[in-house]
Chains A and B, each alone.
Chain A
Amino acid sequence: MSDPNQADESEVCLLDDDPSVLKSMHYLLASEGLKVRTFSKAEDFLAHASKHHVPVVVTDIWMDNVTGLEVLARLCAISPKTRVIVITAREDLAARATAMAIGPVAFFMKPFDDEKFIAAVRDALNRSDKKEKA
């Protein structure tokens, strides 16, 4: 679906270990005309982020082998400019607080409102552009 070697300024990365959720988010963003790159494993995403510019990533917090919080922490080190949108299937205030402290721009409870989500993704992309330009 995506060429791993080619970075794109407007490409949104998706990270979720649940394939159907991952796929459905891909379709949702595609319906908005956004470019999407999907990852089901955190390692794959971090490897990608270390080599390419990633303006926005949408990640799940609860994954089988690694928590989204860990991914966030490592992403900060690799690519501090990347905007992060967290989605989670479970209400967890502590995790939310931690995530916000690390720096995500939005936090969504699964299932979420598609308009707000897309708006958040677009907003993140714009901020990234502005930041880039600035």
Chain B
Amino acid sequence: MKAAPAEKGHTQSEEQLSLLQTITMEVAAASDLASALEIVLREVCEKTGWVLGQAWVRNPDVDVLHLVAAWYCGDGELKPFKAASETSHFERGVGLPGRVWESKQAAWLEDVTNDPNFPRSPAARTARLKTGVGIPILAHDKLIAVLEFFMRESRSQNEQLVNVITAVAAQLGLVIRRKRVREELTRTNEILQSILSNMGDAVVVADKDNKFLVFNPAAERMFGKGATQLPPTEWSHRYGLYLADKTTPFPHDQLPILRSIRGEDVDNVEMFVRHENAPRGIWTEITGRPLRDANGDVLGGVVVCRDITGIKEEEFFRAGQSQVLEMIAADAPLADVLRNLVILMEGQAEGLRCSILLLNRDGKHVRHGAAPNLPEAYVKAVNGAPIGPRNGSCGTAMYRRRPVVVADVLTDPLWTDYRDLAKICGLRACWSTPILSARGDVLGSFAMYRQENRGPVPEETRLTQIATHIAGIAIERQRHQEILREREERINLAAESADLAFWILYPEQNTAWMSEKGRRIYGFDSNLPLTCDLILSRVHPDERAEVKAAYEKACALSGTFESEHRLLLPYGKTRWVIMRGRCLKDEEGNLLETIGVTLDVSVQKQADLQLQHQRDEMAHRNRVSLMGEMTASFAHELNQPLTAIANNAAAARRFLERGNIDPALLKQLLHDMVADSQRAGEVIRGIRSLVRKEAGVRTLLDLNAVITDTVRLVSSDVLNRESVVVTDLDPLLPQVNATLVQIQQVLLNLIMNALDAMEGLPPAERRIIISTRLDKGDVTEVRVRDFGTGLPKEKPDKVFDHFFSTKQKGMGMGLAIVRSIIEAHGGTIVGENAPDRGATMIVRLPAAPGQTQTVAAA
């Protein structure tokens, strides 16, 4: 078989070679597997004398073979068999294709019409087919397809023919495999392309030569332009790539794609991208990996760029809020805080303009807060405007205490007064929300302006909520700070101008702090460590126990204390101070500290003492001068007892001379003389008490009695001046707590003044009426009425001023002294002109405690 058919073999070999060549070329050119199989079937049939060829492939879903291609010689009788094949499926081991599948070997059937395992034998008989061969097409030992060829002649197995077809099949297997791989690749590529085209992240792949292999649409959107041939040094410029500061161009050697080409893994690099298609800029986070071949050599790099603008902006927004809050916490000026807040808000949306207005403390007018990007003319016009039910968006929002949305300022009635201005300034929509304090008081308003007429979108409403919240904190804090500052200034001013010491006592530790001024007041050196005891030791010994008790009582009650006392400083110097303090306790009631102030009132105190002294001196002089006016009365008062004594003495002498005196009578005379002597002594004592410098002590006085005595005292002078004093006294008048001499002085002054006022009248009209009564239950009232010239009409009370006098010889001190005496007794004195003529001086003195009840009972 090897040598003999050499010639024929040669021919067959040539045929085979030609067949293989044709098949290889045509199959390679075939678009898909089916058409490639068809080519094979045709070539094999035509070249090797088969009438029918069919190809079966595995149906992957049901794991059976089904017909995919067929070729037949055009004989109409073959049709039934072909139809039978088209409707047949073969499981492994069934029929000719199934047998080939199972054995992966070629199978030769000499007579298919009589083969038991050939289900299509009836159709084969009709088609007059006899011989059939099945050839497997294998790739990597896996069955891809089964080829079937049939002829009408009965023929035994021809090894050579089988070999040729097997060789062809093998070749076909290779081709198919290659094709499948390519198909697979294509499909994978398509999927990849689809993914790349549709994914949101930008993907860029470049090879070792910095040539872009992939630049997906997202990358084009993100970077504004497509792939480029420019060298990498130009990329940052071309695509607008910046570092996080938004201004420094991204250094090209640090570009993630180039780093990944260099073989580095790049993770989470942030980059800012800005170009003409993205004027606000895009924030991107980039991850990059080198691309390597099977040997690990770098072929290029791939980067994936995620758009994190939204996250980043939210981050910046939060950072901006934090910054504003920090400003508030650091007590930055309110104007700066609000300005930053407005700028922050404006940065959150395109075309947004914002403003903050403050409500004045009067609660009726607004003032400028912050509006850095609104026209100045507009800002100026709004500043100082009133709030009200139809006062633009802001004025109305503050008035209503509710948000006011004006979508179109050109038509909304709330904007009637501001419409023209808004028009000039190009403002169209204005939505304003009141800024409220924690307690709900209106502090101001936050407004958003737009140049198009519409209402706010949810994002803008969210921004407004944030802005009003932060602005509320800022304004409220500033107000609070303002109040504190004002208070502090006032205190400082007081501390500087008045001699005020600040101190804090920590009783638990027995330590204390005191301001510099305080140390000077208390006579402590600047660097002396202070204790509570040390401070207390400066209090004058006479008053120390009292001060300590007041302080301890305040501590116990956690209240305040106030004490006026003297300090005794080293070297014997004394100061008068007023000390005021407050005890502070923690939540558990432990005394934390006592804070307070000490005011040095030495100067005032000295002045007070001096004034008091002067007053006493004046009062004394007044009394002495009154005495001078009362000589007649005193002479009379004194002459009466002296006369009685003289008479009694003379009578006694005469009785004795006559020698018939009754001892009892003599005793009576002597007794009377003693009594009258005492009476004379009392008169002199009375005069002396009036001219004594000290006025004496307060006692319970019956005003009616004092009036009667005083009237009697001056009666001689009253008579002398041809005048009359009439009294009308309320017998139920309660007693008063007063100094007798001073009350007498008051009455004498009033009577003398009344006498003086009536000098020009005919004697019959010179009348003084002194009356008493109880006023309002606990106030005694003494009225001294005359019929003289009266008080100055315009200002009757002017008579109480120092140095006011209508008399040529008067000093003008009398009534001023009277008033100071009455006021020192807690009373009042007023002067009125009587309707007809003359004046009434009305003295009111408080009844002594406990006196009024007695009267009521009586």
- CB contacts under 8 Å to A, within B630-664, are 632, 635-636, 639-648, 650-655, 658
* B654 with A28: CB separation less than 8 A: yes
In the complex, B679 has a CB within 8 A of chain A: yes
Could you tell me how many residues of chain A have their Cβ less than 8 Å away from some Cβ of chain B?
23
* B639 with A89: CB separation less than 8 A: yes
Binding site for A on B (CB under 8 A): 632, 635-636, 639-648, 650-655, 658, 665, 669, 672, 675-676, 679, 712, 715-716, 719-720
* B669 with A27: CB separation less than 8 A: yes
Enumerate chain B residues within 8 angstroms of A27, measured Cβ to Cβ: 647-648, 651-652, 665, 669, 672
* A31 with B716: CB separation less than 8 A: no
| Known contacts A32-B654, A114-B654; A24/B636 CB under 8 A | no
Enumerate chain A residues within 8 angstroms of B715, measured Cβ to Cβ: 62, 64
Neighbour of A24 across the interface among B645, B655, B658, B665, CB < 8 A: B645
* B640 with A89: CB separation less than 8 A: yes
Neighbour of B658 across the interface among A28, A31, A112, A114, CB < 8 A: A31
Q: Would you give 17 A-B contacts (Cβ < 8 Å), ordered by A? A: A18-B640, A18-B644, A20-B676, A21-B647, A23-B672, A24-B651, A27-B652, A27-B672, A31-B652, A62-B636, A67-B719, A89-B635, A89-B643, A89-B716, A90-B632, A90-B716, A92-B720
In the complex, A74 has a CB within 8 A of chain B: no
* A21 with B632: CB separation less than 8 A: no
- CB contacts under 8 Å to B, within A46-68, are 62, 64, 67
Enumerate chain A residues within 8 angstroms of B672, measured Cβ to Cβ: 20, 23-24, 27
* A21 with B643: CB separation less than 8 A: yes
A28 to B644, CA, bound (A): 10
| Known contacts A31-B654, A90-B636; A112/B641 CB under 8 A | no
A14 to B635, CA, bound (A): 22
* B635 with A25: CB separation less than 8 A: no
A18 to B654, CA, bound (A): 23
Distance to closest chain A CB from B759 (angstroms): 15
Top 6 A-B pairs, shortest CB-CB distance: A114-B650, A24-B647, A89-B639, A31-B654, A110-B643, A27-B651
* A20 with B644: CB separation less than 8 A: yes
Chain B's closest residue to A23 (CB) is: B672
* B639 with A31: CB separation less than 8 A: no
Enumerate chain A residues within 8 angstroms of B642, measured Cβ to Cβ: 110-111
Chain A's closest residue to B717 (CB) is: A90
Enumerate chain B residues within 8 angstroms of A97, measured Cβ to Cβ: none
* A21 with B720: CB separation less than 8 A: no
| Known contacts A27-B647, A67-B719, A111-B646; A21/B640 CB under 8 A | yes
* A20 with B641: CB separation less than 8 A: yes
A110 to B639, CA, bound (A): 6
Mark interface residues in A5-40 (1 if CB within 8 Å of B CB, else 0).
000000000000010110111011011100000000
Distance to closest chain A CB from B494 (angstroms): 62
* A24 with B639: CB separation less than 8 A: no
Enumerate chain B residues within 8 angstroms of A91, measured Cβ to Cβ: 635
A22 to B650, CA, bound (A): 14
* B632 with A25: CB separation less than 8 A: no
* A111 with B636: CB separation less than 8 A: no
* B647 with A28: CB separation less than 8 A: yes
A24 to B719, CA, bound (A): 24
Enumerate chain A residues within 8 angstroms of B719, measured Cβ to Cβ: 62, 67
Chain B's closest residue to A108 (CB) is: B643
* A111 with B651: CB separation less than 8 A: no
Identify which of A32, A110, A114 gathers the most chain B CB atoms within 10 Å of its CB: A110
* A24 with B648: CB separation less than 8 A: yes
| Known contacts A62-B636, A110-B640, A111-B639; A25/B647 CB under 8 A | yes
A87 to B640, CA, bound (A): 11
A88 to B597, CA, bound (A): 69
Given A20-B640, A28-B648, A110-B642, 8 extra CB contacts under 8 A: A21-B644, A23-B644, A24-B646, A25-B647, A27-B672, A32-B654, A92-B720, A110-B640
Enumerate chain A residues within 8 angstroms of B712, measured Cβ to Cβ: 64
Mark interface residues in A78-114 (1 if CB within 8 Å of B CB, else 0).
0000000001011110000000000000000011101
A25 to B715, CA, bound (A): 22
A89 to B648, CA, bound (A): 16
* B647 with A90: CB separation less than 8 A: no
A18 to B647, CA, bound (A): 13
Enumerate chain A residues within 8 angstroms of B650, measured Cβ to Cβ: 28, 31, 114
A28 to B97, CA, bound (A): 188
Identify which of B641, B651, B653, B679 gathers the most chain A CB atoms within 10 Å of its CB: B651
Enumerate chain B residues within 8 angstroms of A25, measured Cβ to Cβ: 647
Enumerate chain A residues within 8 angstroms of B655, measured Cβ to Cβ: 31
Enumerate chain B residues within 8 angstroms of A112, measured Cβ to Cβ: 643, 646
Distance to closest chain A CB from B531 (angstroms): 72
Enumerate chain A residues within 8 angstroms of B652, measured Cβ to Cβ: 27, 31
Chain A's closest residue to B637 (CB) is: A89
* A90 with B635: CB separation less than 8 A: yes
Enumerate chain B residues within 8 angstroms of A20, measured Cβ to Cβ: 640-641, 644, 672, 675-676, 679
Distance to closest chain A CB from B269 (angstroms): 122
Enumerate chain A residues within 8 angstroms of B641, measured Cβ to Cβ: 20
* B654 with A111: CB separation less than 8 A: no
Enumerate chain B residues within 8 angstroms of A31, measured Cβ to Cβ: 650-652, 654-655, 658
Distance to closest chain B CB from A83 (angstroms): 20
Distance to closest chain A CB from B743 (angstroms): 22
Enumerate chain A residues within 8 angstroms of B645, measured Cβ to Cβ: 24, 111
A124 to B679, CA, bound (A): 32
Enumerate chain A residues within 8 angstroms of B658, measured Cβ to Cβ: 31
Enumerate chain B residues within 8 angstroms of A23, measured Cβ to Cβ: 644, 672
Distance to closest chain B CB from A57 (angstroms): 17
Enumerate chain B residues within 8 angstroms of A62, measured Cβ to Cβ: 636, 715-716, 719
Neighbour of A89 across the interface among B636, B669, B675, B676, CB < 8 A: B636
A92 to B722, CA, bound (A): 12
A27 to B668, CA, bound (A): 10
Enumerate chain A residues within 8 angstroms of B635, measured Cβ to Cβ: 89-91
A96 to B284, CA, bound (A): 130
Enumerate chain A residues within 8 angstroms of B675, measured Cβ to Cβ: 20
A123 to B267, CA, bound (A): 152
Distance to closest chain B CB from A16 (angstroms): 9
Identify which of B635, B640, B658, B716 gathers the most chain A CB atoms within 10 Å of its CB: B640
Identify which of A25, A28, A91, A112 gathers the most chain B CB atoms within 10 Å of its CB: A28
A78 to B676, CA, bound (A): 35
| Known contacts A62-B715, A90-B632; A24/B654 CB under 8 A | no
Distance to closest chain B CB from A38 (angstroms): 13
A90 to B679, CA, bound (A): 18
| Known contacts A31-B658, A62-B719; A111/B647 CB under 8 A | yes
A24 to B668, CA, bound (A): 10
Distance to closest chain A CB from B471 (angstroms): 87
A21 to B675, CA, bound (A): 12
Distance to closest chain A CB from B719 (angstroms): 5
A88 to B501, CA, bound (A): 70
Distance to closest chain B CB from A40 (angstroms): 13
* A90 with B639: CB separation less than 8 A: yes
A18 to B635, CA, bound (A): 14
A25 to B644, CA, bound (A): 7
A67 to B763, CA, bound (A): 13
Distance to closest chain A CB from B670 (angstroms): 11
A27 to B650, CA, bound (A): 9
A64 to B712, CA, bound (A): 8
Enumerate chain B residues within 8 angstroms of A24, measured Cβ to Cβ: 643-648, 651, 672, 676
Distance to closest chain A CB from B635 (angstroms): 5
A25 to B640, CA, bound (A): 12
A20 to B719, CA, bound (A): 21
Enumerate chain B residues within 8 angstroms of A18, measured Cβ to Cβ: 640, 644
Chain B's closest residue to A24 (CB) is: B647
Enumerate chain B residues within 8 angstroms of A90, measured Cβ to Cβ: 632, 635-636, 639, 716, 720
Distance to closest chain A CB from B98 (angstroms): 167
